[in-house]
Structure 1
Amino acid sequence: MYRLRGHHIFCLLGYRGMGYSKEYIENMTRLHQDLKNNPKTFIHLVKGPDQLCEKYPNSGDYHCKDQHIYERDAVMLEKLGLKVGQILYWEDIESRIRKSVVPSDIQVMCKDCSWRLYGVCEEGVQEILDGQGLRELK
């Protein structure tokens, strides 16, 4: 079982092997590929820092506890009809994405995210809508 905060659900859709540090990338890649290969993996939705935040580089202000990040989490969980504390399979989260999200939602929900500019999150949403699941990393 993995602990995930709301906005990291969408970060996983757009993940392409880039990140903040080598340790962060290794951690994110492991989690991403586990979910791709085992969609029946349980996810526990949490408020605040999760297993991805554990490897976020400590370089001053701790991004993972910023109020705007908590707000982004809440918006994304609401969009999916999910709540902090729920435990469900990753495949159930993908099913909610297919029912509730379109690629252009990323432009609104993630408007302040620097990763949005790469366009990979919209691609990730579309891949879920197309039934492909998470992308295989190369």
Structure 2
Amino acid sequence: MLKLRGHHLFCLLGYRGMGYSKEYIENMTFWHQQLRYNPETKIQIIKGPDQLCEKYPNSGNYHCKDPHIYNRDEAILKKMGLEIGEIITWNEIESTIRKKIVPEDIHLVCVSCSWRGYGVCEEGIQEIIDGKGLREVT
């Protein structure tokens, strides 16, 4: 079972093999591809740092504990109708995205994210809506 915080549900959609460090990229790619090829993987929604945060480079101000990140988690979970502690499969997460999310939601709930400017998260949401699932990351 993978433990994820709210905003990482969207980060996984836009993930294209870029990140903060080699360790972070390896960890993110592993989990991203695990979900891509095993969509029945169970996800537990948690509050605060998760299994993706474990490899985030801590060089002073730890991004994963920033209050803005907690606000983003909360906004995404609210938009998706999910709650802390809930256990759901990745397939169910994709189904929820198709029913409740549109690409433009990124501009509302991820307004302060430094990755937003790349447009990959909107693209990822559209691919889920179109039934394509998560992209291959090489």
TM-score bracket relative to the smaller structure: over 0.9
Shift in Å, 1:137:
1.1
Q: Which residue of 1 aligns with 2:87?
A: 87
Distance of 1:76 and 1:6 partners within structure 2: 6
The count of residues paired between Structure 1 and Structure 2 equals 138
Write the deviation string for residues 11-46 of structure 1: whole angstroms up to 9, x where unpaired: 000000000000000000000000000000000000
Q: Which residue of 2 aligns with 1:63?
A: 63
Q: Given the two structures, how large is their TM-score scaled by the length of structure 2?
A: 0.99
Deviant stretches of 4+, over 2 Å: none
Residue 20 of structure 1 aligns with an amino acid whose one-letter code is Y
Q: Report whether the alignment pairs 1:32 with 2:32.
A: yes
Distance of 2:76 and 2:58 partners within structure 1: 25
Shift in Å, 1:129:
0.2
Q: Which residue of 2 aligns with 1:77?
A: 77
Gaps of 5+ in 2: none
Write the deviation string for residues 18-76 of structure 1: whole angstroms up to 9, x where unpaired: 00000000000000000000000000000000000000001001110111111100000
Q: Given the two structures, how large is their TM-score scaled by the length of structure 1?
A: 0.99
Distance of 1:58 and 1:47 partners within structure 2: 19
Distance of 1:47 and 1:105 partners within structure 2: 21
Gaps of 5+ in 1: none
After superposition, the CA RMSD in angstroms is 0.5
